[in-house]
Amino acid sequence: MQGGALRIRLASLHDLPRIVEIYNEAIQDGTANCELGGVTLEQRLDWFRAHNERYPLWVAELGGTVVGWTCLSQYDQKPCFADTATFSTYVAARYRGRHIGNRLRVHLIKQARGLGYCTIVNRVFEENVASIELAKKYGFEKVGHMKKVASRNGEYWDCVFYQLILKKE
């Protein structure tokens, strides 16, 4: 990989501007998330602080530059969902196609297992083919399809749900 070896590490507050920059880039792309407009550092500060030992946030660094990030997030506040998490993964546009998303996904799955999660789930727009293909590549199974649940720019979009069971009984 050009620029040195890819390093994945826990994110620090110092990384938040770059995390927000990558996130805003994905918002502009249009199919990666549910935001309707760009977000500010201030708007993402509480989100950042919600990531902790149970719900970590990692960055991928290449040559000292944050080029992507991934995190585990709470699926639901009810205690019965404590062993289920959702997640996000984003890679800066100019670094896509270099297998950084793959490396982040492998890291995320390994860490989720180590944290004792039973399952991780992901909701994506049906049009987000890259995320769906990445899910399938790592054994995620499609478990749901909700029609016309998100309104973006005057259009209604479908969401699909993918799940990876980490604890086999």
Q: Is residue 1 part of a domain?
A: no
CATH of the domain at 132: 3.40.630.30
Model confidence pLDDT, tens digit, residues 2-11: 557 999 999 9
Taking only the tens place, the pLDDT of each residue in 125-138 is: 888 888 899 999 99
For residue 69, is it within any domain? yes
HSE (CB half, 13 Å, CA atoms) of 92?
A: 16
Phi, psi values for residue 71, rounded to 5°? -155, 155
How far apart (Å, rounded) are the C-alpha atoms in residues 111 and 106? 9
Range of the domain at 153: 6-165
Q: Are 144 and 98 in contact (CB under 8 A)?
A: no
- Model pTM score: 0.91
Q: Is residue 159 part of a domain?
A: yes
Domain count, the chain: 1
Residues in CB range of 128: below 8 A, 6 or more apart: 31, 32
Tokens of 65: 């530059």
Angle between helix 16-29 and helix 41-49 axes, rounded to 10 deg:
110
